[in-house]
Amino acid sequence: MKDSNFVYGMRPVIEAIAAGKEVDKIMMQQGLKGELVPELRKLINENNIPYQYVPVEKLNRLIRGNHQGIVCFISPIAFQPIENLLLSVYEKGETPLFVILDRITDVRNMGAIARTAACAGAHGLIIPEKGGAPVNGDAMKASAGALSSLPVHKSPNLKITIDYLKESGLRIVAASEKGKKNYYDASFTGPLAVIMGSEEDGVSGEYLRRCNDVVSIPMRGQIESLNVSVAAGILLFEVVKQQMNEQIS
């Protein structure tokens, strides 16, 4: 399988990691052995790279060549430290706006949200290191190129990242069906991070408890929930509206 987002084979994977490539994750054959395996595991641990063991059949479906029991997924973008992102916003004299994705697993949803966030003037997208959709070619396509310009932070621990943003002066607002406040009654002015949750069960309770506000979008039809990317668009352009009104006044 020819894809610039894949590297496979023991030595090529080791060289990709050592060269500083932005690795999204690694899949290894169950029971993988060989003289290079200790070196590979050392690099994985040193660089905190997510990995998983899978049946060889899964690797065979991904790669038609000699994968040697390992496939490495290379991210098409470079992830940014959250401290650097926040500092750059304040240095520009702008009001921070970040979008946090909690376990959104569909690359098309992630790409669509990234596109909307870029259109709304967001300063960055925050995704979890594990449990979320990969930033791959499909996500790039769904974002219509937005992921090439919108900074992305891959958080090893969203709880710590959320706490850091709160300590840095940002209000945290989550979109949830559990929210008792309609989104248009909430304040979206000032430094802000908006959390959008999993397609299956929304924003995790541990993150909801850290929020300054939990808001919902009122439903009038028989369908009880919106696609997460549509919901993100509604909230982000409420942010745009409120912040523009604040500037006018």
Residue with tokens 């300063």: 123
In this predicted structure, what is the pLDDT of residue 249?
Answer: 67
pLDDT per 10-residue tile (average), the chain, 249 residues: 71 92 90 92 90 92 90 90 96 96 95 97 95 88 93 95 97 92 94 95 94 93 87 97 87
Structure tokens at 100: 């946090």
In this predicted structure, what is the pLDDT of residue 170?
Answer: 97
Domain 82-248, CATH:
3.40.1280.10
**Helix axis angle, 10-18 relative to 37-46, nearest 10°?**
30
In this predicted structure, what is the pLDDT of residue 6?
Answer: 84
Distance in angstroms (rounded) separating the CA atoms of residues 139 and 108: 6
Distance in angstroms (rounded) separating the CA atoms of residues 155 and 158: 6
Please state which of the four CATH numbers 1.10.540.10, 3.30.1330.30, 3.30.429.10, 3.30.420.40 is assigned to the domain occupying 6-74.
3.30.1330.30
Give per-residue pLDDT as tens, 233-242: 999 999 999 9
- Domain(s) labelled CATH 3.40.1280.10 in the chain stretch across 82-248
**Cα–chain-centroid distance for residue 96?**
17
Give per-residue pLDDT as tens, 8-58: 999 999 999 998 888 888 999 998 988 999 999 999 999 888 899 999 999
Whether the Cβ atoms of residue 32 and residue 166 lie closer than 8 Å to each other: no
Q: What are the C-alpha distances in Å from 91 to residues 87, 185, 189?
A: 6, 31, 19
In this predicted structure, what is the pLDDT of residue 3?
Answer: 46
**Helix axis angle, 107-119 relative to 228-248, nearest 10°?**
10
- Domain(s) labelled CATH 3.30.1330.30 in the chain stretch across 6-74
For the chain, what's the residue count?
249
